[in-house]
């Protein structure tokens, strides 16, 4: 049995609007020793925390976010929040937009499962804006001689961000928003733009280590079959999951994931 993840209280120290669609919030731990204990052992670049939102009725809602640049000595981290919809949808997006220095929030974690494998010949990092922070962290952890691709889907060119990468890792941006699997079926075979962009990449020789995270339908129903079946990427070399699902809150999305897992293991 794994130990329950610790709770850590954070204070907002700064906010920065990266684009119209993304806000970076910087935090400092209220108790740096507790923070160091929680974050000290984490070696994953996709490490994430669960933000805890307490409803007026005592109901607790959790929202999952990538913890960027956790600094164990300083007791600090940053989170890049997608501002989705008109900025007023959901809990976490609007909270981040309104966050001001001094605000407090409790987080649980970190969790995580991926770090770029040094034994791979090349790396494929693909995702949408929700996956971008984890892609940013993976790129920062790659050695200077790493090779591969980072492909990020954003709504349009105004949502692109500076994204430092090793010289051998080509960064490309895909525009137009996520096309869902349902929309894809309706549009008689039109592929999601992220899949099309990944499919168009010249496939490199050797062993790939792939990290693919974003809207669940696109990632699990379009990119996953492409990578596993068409490209025959071994499961162990593919980190892939939905980070959110169109039309569902995180709670409703978790139910969908549980159903999908039950079907797949049946
Ligand atoms: C491991 C992991 C790491 C993640 N890291 C990040 C991160 O670093 N930054 C980040 O922004 N997100 C990240 N996400 C995704 C984030 O948890 C979800 O987007 C979450 O649903 C946002 O919560 P909310 O309260 O704003 O919206 P919710 O209340 O969950 O949803 C309200 C509505 O908004 C829609 N919605 C939710 N997210 C998006 C989106 N990204 N784009 C468009 N519509 C959306 C939903 O479909 C729903 O209709 C991560 C998810 C996972 C599992």
CATH class of domain segment(s) 7-111: mainly beta
CATH of domain 122-265: 3.40.50.80
pLDDT tens digit sequence for 27-77? 999 999 999 999 998 889 999 999 999 987 888 999 999 999 999 999 999
Phi-psi region of 18 (alpha: psi -120 to 50; beta: other; left: phi over 0): alpha
* Dihedral (CA of 244, 249, 253, 254) sign: positive
Residues with Cβ < 8 Å from 154, sequence gap 6 or more? 21, 128, 129, 132, 160, 173, 174, 175
133 CA: nearest ligand 1 atom: 8
Please say if the pLDDT value at position 20 is more than 70. yes
58 Cα: distance to centroid of ligand 1 (angstroms): 22
Q: Which helix (H) or strand (E) holds 38?
A: helix 32-39
% residues pLDDT > 70 (the chain): 94
> CA 135 → CA 28, 38, 97, 166, 213, distances in Å?
23, 22, 22, 13, 9
204 Cα: distance to centroid of ligand 1 (angstroms): 32
% residues pLDDT > 90 (the chain): 83
Residue range(s) occupied by CATH 3.40.50.80 in the chain: 122-265
Please give the span between the terminal C-alpha atoms of the chain, in angstroms, as a whole number: 23
pLDDT tens digit sequence for 99-108? 999 999 999 9
Residue range(s) occupied by CATH 2.40.30.10 in the chain: 7-111
Give residue 57's pLDDT.
Answer: 82
- Report which protein residue has its CA nearest ligand 1's atom 10: 130
pTM assigned to the model: 0.96
């Amino acid at each position: 049995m794994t130990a329950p993840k610790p709770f850590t209280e954070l204070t907002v120290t700064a906010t920065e609007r990266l684009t119209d669609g993304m806000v970076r919030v910087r935090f400092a731990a209220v108790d740096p020793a507790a923070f160091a204990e929680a974050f000290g052992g984490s070696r994953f670049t996709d490490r994430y925390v669960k933000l805890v939102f307490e409803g007026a009725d005592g109901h607790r809602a959790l929202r999952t976010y990538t913890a960027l640049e956790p600094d164990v000595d300083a007791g600090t981290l940053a989170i890049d929040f997608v501002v989705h919809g008109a900025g007023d949808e959901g809990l976490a997006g609007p909270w981040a937009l309104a966050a001001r220095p001094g605000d407090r929030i409790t987080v649980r974690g970190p969790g995580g499962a991926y770090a770029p494998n040094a034994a791979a010949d090349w790396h494929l990092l693909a995702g949408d804006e929700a996956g971008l922070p984890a892609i940013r962290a993976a790129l920062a952890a790659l050695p200077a001689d790493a090779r591969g691709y980072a492909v990020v889907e954003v709504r349009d060119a105004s949502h692109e961000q500076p994204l430092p990468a090793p010289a051998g890792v080509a960064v490309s941006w895909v525009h137009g928003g996520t096309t869902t699997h349902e929309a894809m079926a309706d549009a008689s075979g039109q592929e999601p733009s992220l899949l099309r962009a990944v499919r168009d990449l010249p496939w490199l020789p050797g062993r790939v280590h792939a990290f693919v995270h974003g809207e669940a339908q696109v990632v699990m129903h379009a990119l996953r079959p492409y990578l596993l079946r068409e490209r025959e990427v071994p499961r162990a070399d593919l980190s892939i999951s939905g980070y959110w699902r169109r039309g569902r809150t995180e709670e409703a999305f978790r139910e969908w994931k549980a159903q999908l897992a039950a079907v797949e293991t049946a």
